Amino acid sequence: MSTTTLFLFRNDLRLQDNTALSAAIKTGQPIVLLYVFDDTDAHWPLGSASRWWLHHSLQSLVSSIHALGGSLILRRGNTRDILREIICSANVDKLFFSRMYEPFQCQLEEGIYQDWHDQIEVKRYGGYLLFEPEQIRTGQGDPYKVFTPFWKSCLTQTEPSVSRNSQLKQKSFYPDKLDSDKLESWGLLPTQPDWSTGFSRWQPGEKGAMHCFTRFLKSGIQNYDEDRDRPDRDGTSSLSPHLHFGEIAPARIWRDVKQAISNKKVKQSQAMCFLRELGWRDFSNHLLYHWSDLPNKAFRPEYQSFPWKRNQKALLAWQKGYTGYPIVDAGMRQLWQSGWMHNRVRMIVASFLVKHLLIHWRDGEEWFWDTLLDADLANNSASWQWVAGSGADAAPYFRIFNPILQGKKFDPDGDYVRHWVPELLKLPTKYIHEPWLADESSLAKAGIALGQDYPEPIVEHTTGRKRALAAFEAFKNG
């Protein structure tokens, strides 16, 4: 009986530029392609928005494989149990997969190796990051805790390479039928109600990722350094969910951006500003890999006992976008309606929650985890701790974003606010970020009764800032 190679898809839902899949194809053996939806682990189960993306990304991958004459086996359950069944039934002697960095995924990889390393060939490959966490070390051999020296070290490494796949062909696939779930049976899509209708701008899957990247490389990257901070402009790559689900390789992005620099199609300063953001993604995963409790505990231990407030009413107002601060509310509504939020606004709304309201960063982390299409455990936890002041290379506790000034600076004409907070659509620009200062005539012409059509601020800015500074100062000195 001939032997078989088993390829386990994880967060690498693509056929091209997939190092692990390329290695599986090069074995020359029939390949079983498998994806396991393993929700048996209680640690950070996939959020609602991410489940929507996963459904459509797998749907796209199934179609691409079917077009080549093959099939993707879908199973739901314990990964190790499912691997054991398929390895035995399909006479598998090689198991390949891409690595992941969440604590429970690292434990899974160790378990798979323990189960099978002395019976079959088990190999894992990189590809989710530009540089592996073990690769980037300080001069003393320790993991980095500060981004800038981390990034400088990255830039001294051999540049990330892209493994071009041998093409999957019909003869590449395992010929016998294996049981597979129907994707619809997993119930990943919201139904009662279907709150995902605003996600229609997205195109999950490998084709969607390449379309998004091509568009950005052609136009969006040209003024990236400035436009990336402007939520009123289409100045970001929007690649974050595609990257999280592995629909495009970061090494592919690196190569094509560097090529665009060489061909003088983009200024080096703009391109490197963008690649630096990929570096932050690597840095977050670097932190999570080396400090596995990052999502749950303060990175800086002294912050573990900070006296955060419990205020369910304020938390709900923040979640739904009814804080009375237009830039905050616009961001939270953009998140709820589209599954995404502009990065500059993410910092503003996060600062408002943990500083103005003194609500625990974990409450914000959990809300983002459930509502973001690009919810990534490393990025999410590292970013929330950065804003809270408890994380690695964190913003100091006294750095408190002023939501009024942030709105005026980065949404000067109020276009972003007007789009997501339509109650303020007709308000004059000079009041758009502080409607409580508008005179009665302006409010009447705009059809706004403060406290009815749009809320008064749930906390006055100066009061909230002073309270935060006092709380952090008392904590520091206590």
Which phi and psi (to 5°) does residue 349 adopt? Answer: -70, -35
Exactly one of 277, 311, 436, 460 is catalytic; which is it? 277
- Yes or no: say if 336 and 328 are a contact pair by the CB < 8 Å rule: no
CA distance 452 to 50: 34
In the annotation, is 343 catalytic?
yes
Q: What is the dihedral of CA 442, 333, 282, 272, to 10 degrees?
A: -40
Exactly one of 254, 280, 436, 460 is catalytic; which is it? 280
Query: C-alpha distances in angstroms, 1 versus 93, 353, 433?
Result: 12, 61, 71
Encoded tokens for 128: 């989710």
In the annotation, is 247 catalytic?
no
Exactly one of 78, 343, 366, 436 is catalytic; which is it? 343
Exactly one of 116, 336, 361, 369 is catalytic; which is it? 361
Residue 27 CB burial class (10 angstroms; 0-12, 13-18, ≥19): middle
How long, in residues, is the chain?
478
In the annotation, is 386 catalytic?
no
Q: From 404, 408, 317, select the one nearest 367 (Cα to Cα).
A: 317
In the annotation, is 380 catalytic?
no
Which phi and psi (to 5°) does residue 297 adopt? Answer: -125, 150
Using the CB atoms, write b or e for 326-359: b if 16+ within 10 Å: bbbbbbbbbbbbbbbbbbbbbbbbbbbbbbbbbb
Encoded tokens for 181: 């779930």
CA distance 150 to 447: 52
Residue at token pair 């008064």: 456
Catalytic machinery residues: 277, 280, 308, 343, 361, 384
